Amino acid sequence: MVDMKKWESKKIGVIIEVDYEKCKGYGDCVLACPSSVYELVDGKTTAPNIDDCIQCCACQEACPVNAIKHHSCQ
Ligand code: SF4
């Protein structure tokens, strides 16, 4: 079963989804993001600072298992 987690910023109109079946907590998104949007929690990534996203798409490109779907980067 797909386990998609979703974060949404109504402030800047950004949606990020992470497939928790694929996410292994490698942290590449944490390192890649210039705005510190992501934090690892219990071995999975979360996007608590989504309001700071500048929509550069680095997180989606950095993920080695393609777990991140950033709606501005499709
Ligand atoms: S698009 Fe860029 S700024 Fe936004 S969460 Fe991904 S890496 Fe961070």
Domains and CATH numbers, the chain: 4-73 (3.30.70.20)
Ligand 1 proximity of 37 Cβ (cutoff 6 Å) = yes
Q: Three-state SS string across the chain, please?
A: CCCEEEEEECCCCEEEEEECCCCCCCCHHHHHCCCCCCEEECCEEECCCHHHCCCCCHHHHHCCCCCEEEHHHC
Q: Is the pTM of this model over 0.85?
A: yes
pLDDT reported for residue 1? 72
pLDDT reported for residue 15? 98
Ligand 1 proximity of 68 Cβ (cutoff 6 Å) = no
Q: How far apart are CA 63 and CA 74, in angstroms?
A: 14
Contact 14, 71 (CB under 8 A): yes
The per-residue pLDDT of the chain, averaged, comes to 97
- How many A from CA of 67 to the centre of ligand 1? 14
* Model pLDDT for residues 20-42, shown as the tens digit of each residue: 999 999 999 999 999 999 999 99
Task: For residue 69, name the pLDDT band (cuts at 50, 70, 90).
Answer: very high
